[in-house]
Amino acid sequence: MAKQVEQVCVVKGWQEGPVIDESTLKDDLTRHFYYTLGRDKVGESQLYLYHALALTIRDRLVARCRETNKKIKQQKSRKTSYLSLEFLMGRALGNAVLNLDLEDQVSSALQEYCTKIETIEDAEHDAGLGNGGLGRLAACFLDSCASLALPVIGYGIRYEYGMFNQSMSDGNQIEQPDNWLREGHPWELSAPEHSKRIKFGGYVNSYTDKQGREHRQWVSSHDVLAVPYDVPIPGYKNNIVNTLRLWKSEATDEFNLTEFNAGSYSEAVAQKNLAEQITMVLYPNDSSENGKELRLRQQYFLSSASIQDIVDQWVNDHGESFTDFADYHVFQLNDTHPSIAVAELMRVLVDDYELDWDDAWQITTKTMAYTNHTLLPEALEKWSVSLFSKLLPRILEIVFEINARFLADVAQHWPGDVDKQRELSLIEEGGEPQIRMAYLAIVGSYSVNGVAALHTELLKAGLFKEFYALWPNKFNNKTNGVTPRRWLAHCNPTLSELISEKIGSDWVRDFAQINQLRRFYDDTSFQTQWQDAKVINKQRLVDLVKERCGVEFDVSMMFDVQVKRIHEYKRQLLNILHVIHLYDRIRRGDTQGLVPRCVLLGGKAAPGYYMAKKIIKLINNVADVINKDPLASSYLRVAFLPNYNVTAMEVICPATDLSEQVSTAGKEASGTGNMKFMMNGALTIGTLDGANIEIRDAVGADNFFLFGAEAHQIDDIKSRYNPAHLIEQNSDLANVMHLLESGHFNLFEPCLFDDVINAIKSPHDPWLVAHDFESYVSAQKQVDKAYADQAYWTQMSILNTAASGIFSSDRTISQYSDDIWHLTPLNTSDTDSTTATSKATKS
């Protein structure tokens, strides 16, 4: 393959770009507003002001991004490519202003427009390019990598439509397309000169070269173009700006030339549509797999474009010798979604650069690392061999070859054990043979990690037991974390200021320092300030709930919150049963010790997930009945917040008193919302699942409300599970079931909740809702008791924030870097705050 030569021509005296620094921010904003956007009337629309401000900030990011890339080159840094089908970024403006330390200048510049940053921020649309936990984790990781000055590039898809917008119609979820790019996306810069060709379809030829070596050639493919759009990722006050490269699919020029010239205008346009479909929409299910061809196209599209991008850069810098490639590159696979990258790297090395299989395999298995995010067996990705053969014929051959060689190793390890070979094969045999993507990821990677201690242990003992026996050293744990910049400093300015008054502001950079707060937990005047901050934050949420749900919350009541994707294993149903139980107590006049509560739920259901949608409807109906009952209003108010997203969480978590983390033990891999709540001083009521266990360990059992069956007990409980008996035995549960079955919440909609009721009563209920009800109710009573003593509650709240240090994604990323990536931080000492530009001014 011809070596690409990079020609650089720099305008004399402008190597470092025009001057941009603090002094010009105001002028830049005006220039962008008046000239780039051509506006003159202030107040006509905040949208234009938002765009002008975003462009002003972007200018500063671009300068630093260039410097960062220069450093990566100069320092010959080893780099990680984080491959993910999802990056749930949310809004960028507030985060960039915080990380670039521009808060004062921006607010002074905005004074001239008689507005403030909070108002302008509201004009920004969330970048919702993800479903939930896995996608948001990728976004937190990017923030931490940049803040730790680590050379990490994110690779993802620039979906035209992100996560759907959810609205409610008569309590039912309605999905609406998320046209987030409609008004333009000011943060991105396209780089069409770095576009890549992606092959689909066609067939494989074989030919022998002059040396008698056999080669495979993927021919007659229908190629699609991957065009990169770069989004800057600023580190926290360190002048590092990394890149998130999002690929958009486009038709190649051949479509235009050949088809148009042949007079087949409409065929050409149809082909163009097919190409552009690939990055049109994010798949909105966050667990179960449905084998859709377009999804496989997305996965290969991302993997191939990103691998080619890195390999092209390598060839540019080093020529076609790949001997040292693995010393300089790591690909971290965010779940199995991009695991086809294993086979793609093999294809590029073997077919395009003619490496021997063994050399290519050495390189591949030294550069790939895989993170697993789920224990649900039904969520493990599989693709039919026949679909692969049609869409990716050469990739299928490579997967078969990887499998053949791997099974030979298995045969050596377990001689004569044919069952083992069948169990471990990358191909699941049966009517329709399937490729097991997790197995491909494990076999092709040097590191396999889970996302919380329990999760990793369960992977080793269950799902991936045989692989663990084969390669114990591959397996490791990396407990998730969240970025304290967005999830405390930015979203909770009131509390942040208070914290900084006490312990200084370095905690934003070094979140381990948050433990210094412990010293003040019993300081009564500090407790009062802590409570005051909570009330201010609760008022923000009161306003949001009023606006979105029409429900009146009251800051004097306890805010009890569960927000996350709607899933049976997450047990929103258990929460709502408790709400019904409280309502039942109120109706019976059993209000002794009852603490007034506002219960908030929110989250999206996958559009095809019947039960999840029923649960949303049930929550809404229960809320309606309770909120209309004057008897209840001083004790209990309930709301379902539509369209839960990153921006909503930024208002919700600072206002929360009680964080609901109630999944069936062993089912939630980690959870990350639990960490955001903890950082903001919420107390957790939860099961021993995922990272809840580590949260409880960190804060101490006394400061955590524990309930429910434990993971190791689940199988035994299931073997003798009898919900009918549990209902009979427990009058609280019997009352709740009676209210449900009598149609109290669906008076004019008969039988509406029959399937939900039957699920609870089924001896085969995998989520054990009825089993955990009693201990949940009793833990909730403990919550009431604790909340009634406000001084005590506030102490626990302070201790929760103080103990949340280890749940910073900076800690997580440091561990990824130390144990898996082995990166060296970029030098930040020689960069001053205005980077290149101020040097230009000085000289």
Catalytic site includes residue 672: yes
Nearest position to ligand 26Q, beta carbon: 133
Which residues, 210 to 269, sit near ligand 26Q by CB under 6 A? none
Compute the distance between CA of residue 68 and CA of residue 234 in angstroms, rounded to an integer.
10
Distance of closest approach, residue 567 Cβ to ligand 26Q, in angstroms: 8
Catalytic (active site) residue 73: no
Return the beta strands (E) in 78-223 as ranges. 79-83, 87-90, 127-129, 152-157, 165-169, 172-176, 189-190, 196-198, 203-208, 214-219
Widest CA span in the chain: 92
Q: How far is the CB of 602 from ligand 26Q (least distance, A)?
A: 16
On whether the CB atoms of residues 214 and 351 are closer than 8 A, the answer is: no
Site membership for ligand 26Q, residue 381 (CB under 6 A): yes
Q: Using CA atoms, how far apart are residues 641 and 167, in angstroms rounded to an integer?
A: 9
Q: Give the nearest distance from C-beta 81 to ligand 26Q in angstroms.
A: 19
HSE of 322, CA atoms in CB hemisphere, 13 A = 25
Alpha-carbon span 432 to 296, nearest angstrom? 17
- Give the N- to C-terminal CA distance of the chain in Å, as an integer: 43
Name which of 520, 480, 483, 481 is nearest 500 in CA terms.
Answer: 520
* Least spacing, CB of residue 428 vs ligand 26Q, in Å: 16
CA distance 785 to 620: 28
In the annotation, is 329 catalytic? no
The pattern of x and - marking residues 419 through 458 that bind ligand 26Q according to CB under 6 A reads --------------------------------x-------
- Determine the size of the site formed for ligand 26Q (CB under 6 A): 22
Strand order in the sheet with 434-436: 382-384, 434-436, 427-428
**Residue 768 touching ligand 26Q (CB under 6 A):** no
Per the annotation, the verdict on 628 as an active-site residue is no
Nearer to ligand 26Q, 68 or 480 (CB): 480
Cβ 279 to ligand 26Q shortest distance, Å: 15
Provide the β-strand partners of residue 450.
477
SS3 label, residue 634: coil
Binding mask 451-480 for ligand 26Q (x = CB under 6 A): x----------------------------x
Catalytic residue among 564, 578, 604, 771: 564
At residue 83, φ and ψ (nearest 5 deg) are -95, 120
Separation between Cα atoms, residue 183 and residue 343, nearest integer Å: 38
User: Please, which residue, 238 or 672, has the CB nearer to ligand 26Q?
Assistant: 672
Query: Minimum CB separation from ligand 26Q for residue 420, in Å?
Result: 28
Selected binder of ligand 26Q within 602, 690, 708, 805 (CB under 6 A): 690
Residues 261-300 contacting ligand 26Q, CB under 6 A: 283, 285-287, 289, 295
* Residue in the block written with tokens 């047990």: 571
User: Considering 581, 676, 696, 771, which one is annotated as catalytic?
Assistant: 676
Minimal distance, residue 690 CB to ligand 26Q, in Å: 5
**Of the ranges 149-157, 470-478, 620-628, 662-670, which one interacts with ligand 26Q (CB under 6 A)?**
662-670
CB of 129 or CB of 727, closer to ligand 26Q: 129
Interactions with ligand 26Q, residue window 128-167 (CB under 6 A): 131-134, 137
| Shortest Å distance, C-beta 133 to ligand 26Q | 3
Question: How many Å separate Cα 418 from the centre of its chain?
Answer: 39
Comparing CB distances to ligand 26Q, the nearer of 638 and 813 is 813
| Closer Cβ to ligand 26Q, 173 or 797, answer by number | 173
Per the annotation, the verdict on 32 as an active-site residue is: no
- With respect to ligand 26Q, which residue has the nearer C-beta, 80 or 365? 80
Q: Is the dihedral of CA 743, 744, 748, 752 positive or negative?
A: negative
Among 243, 374, 620, 656, binds ligand 26Q (CB under 6 A): 374
Closest CA to 746 of 586, 582, 618: 618
Quick check: 482 binds ligand 26Q (CB under 6 A)? no
How far apart CA 455 and CA 374 sit, in angstroms, is: 8
Q: Which is nearer to ligand 26Q, 285 or 456 (CB)?
A: 285
Smallest gap, in angstroms, from Cβ of residue 489 to ligand 26Q? 22
Among positions 59, 259, 668, 772, the unique one binding ligand 26Q when judged by CB under 6 A: 668
Minimum CB distance to ligand 26Q smaller for 134 or for 623:
134
718 belongs to the catalytic site = no
Q: Which of 648, 559, 644 is nearest to 596 (CA)?
A: 559
Q: Supply the minimum distance, in Å, between the C-beta of residue 203 and ligand 26Q.
A: 27
Residues 6+ apart with CB under 8 A from 65: 230, 232, 241, 242, 243
H/E segment holding residue 125: none
Place of tokens 């919350």: 553
Among 91, 185, 248, 373, binds ligand 26Q (CB under 6 A): 373
Q: Which stretch binds ligand 26Q (CB under 6 A): 125-133, 176-184, 324-332, 389-397?
A: 125-133
3-state secondary structure 777-821: HHHHHHHHHHHHCHHHHHHHHHHHHHCHHHHEHHHHHHHHHHHHH
Q: Which are the catalytic amino acids?
A: 373, 564-565, 570, 672, 676
The residue ranges that bind ligand 26Q (CB under 6 A) are 131-134, 137, 283, 285-287, 289, 295, 373-374, 381, 451, 480, 668-672, 690
